[in-house]
Structure 1
């Protein structure tokens, strides 16, 4: 049987999509029709680890996904009110549970990208995997000091970045512009199937384009 492919050019908000702590607005950016996704003002002024930082802050798209490939173009930059620790966090959430109480995600940190010439250890922190609610970036970093759940990448702020994720049960590979950056044999998945999300975090204004969902049979 062939794989099922679903394409969203993101010129408009996908039918049935639901914002969770974000606003989503169709806009033009860099000659493209895109979706601008950013935290609501209320959430942005909320409490860290309660309202934001590896929380359910995404536009949820009602496509059931278990295994396969996700690919999207992201243009990420800082908001005017971004805190000092903001890095342009934006990416993809997937296997989002029905009640949005569990999911996995991979996001970029463009201000940690190699194009910004960051000092160590930030040079190895441009791409991050996490699993909500138990395995956020800080716990992963503490319990796995080998850095297996994050990686450096040749990216920078305010440029188009292609993020591609390939999932096969508990195996994950993450690519930036076609280059493999993260390979995980055992993720922290707690939900085996669920919805897709366009993810953003604190201080970020992100633009998403050309979302392709390839569902493996």
Structure 2
């Protein structure tokens, strides 16, 4: 078995070597801790759905290599003023990001669909989502797999720190939220490749990230 390497970043500032892909970022203090704030650029948020935003390469690209292992981060999401009515404070982790960001996988939370808010069904079962760019966005996954196997219920809400943990092994994925397993996928939708890790955000969302840990195998 290959030896694991562990990298931890406090995310109290933008890491050296990080790149911004259709997002802005700055250090801040939020909910009692240092973090970095991430949101879409004005150009991206004013662009075309499915081209500039909605499950697109909109993230802080970190200088970390990853294929299999564990990625953990604390994330806090909330809506921006003027967010579209379908926005749910989308924020999460992108991984296996290839050169030029032409493919990647991601898992994100939807805090406004969190069970703490008791949203109407089926939204309560859509607190967390997996997708694979560019072919398998949430809409296609939901249409072709109406059993909802790529999304999950999560006991979360906006404006609170959420510990998001991804365990990745080839095409198997396990996701925990605040230490509770919520999603298990036996066949993800992308060929495993070695790539970068990103802090992902989508439309109408102000996201904050803190305490990142990446264990790469």
Post-superposition Cα deviations, 1:2-36, rounded to whole Å, max 9, x if no partner, equal: 42110000011111110000001011111211000
Post-superposition Cα deviations, 1:130-187, rounded to whole Å, max 9, x if no partner, equal: 0000000000000011100000100011111000000000000011001111100110
Shift of 1:63: 1.1
Does the aligned pair in 2 maintain the 1:124–1:153 contact within 8 Å?
A: yes
Does the aligned pair in 2 maintain the 1:103–1:191 contact within 8 Å?
A: no
Match of 2:71 in 1: 70
CA RMSD of aligned residues (A): 0.8
Does the aligned pair in 2 maintain the 1:96–1:195 contact within 8 Å?
A: yes
For structure 2, the residue ranges without an aligned partner over 5 or more in a row are none
Match of 1:15 in 2: 16
1:139 aligned counterpart, secondary structure: helix
- Structure 2 Cα separation of the partners of residues 144 and 190 of structure 1: 19
What is the count of residue pairs matched by the alignment? Answer: 216
Does the aligned pair in 1 maintain the 2:171–2:191 contact within 8 Å?
A: no
- Structure 1 Cα separation of the partners of residues 4 and 201 of structure 2: 28
What is the 5 A alignment of 1:139-178?
139-178=140-179
Match of 2:93 in 1: 92
Does the aligned pair in 2 maintain the 1:88–1:205 contact within 8 Å?
A: yes
Q: Are 1:81 and 2:82 an aligned pair?
A: yes
Post-superposition Cα deviations, 1:180-214, rounded to whole Å, max 9, x if no partner, equal: 11100110113511000000000000000000001
Post-superposition Cα deviations, 1:49-79, rounded to whole Å, max 9, x if no partner, equal: 1110000000001211010000000111000
For structure 1, the residue ranges without an aligned partner over 5 or more in a row are none
What is the 5 A alignment of 1:202-213?
202-213=203-214
TM-score between the two structures when normalised by the length of structure 1: 0.98
Does the aligned pair in 1 maintain the 2:87–2:203 contact within 8 Å?
A: yes
Match of 1:104 in 2: 105
Match of 2:34 in 1: 33
TM-score between the two structures when normalised by the length of structure 2: 0.98
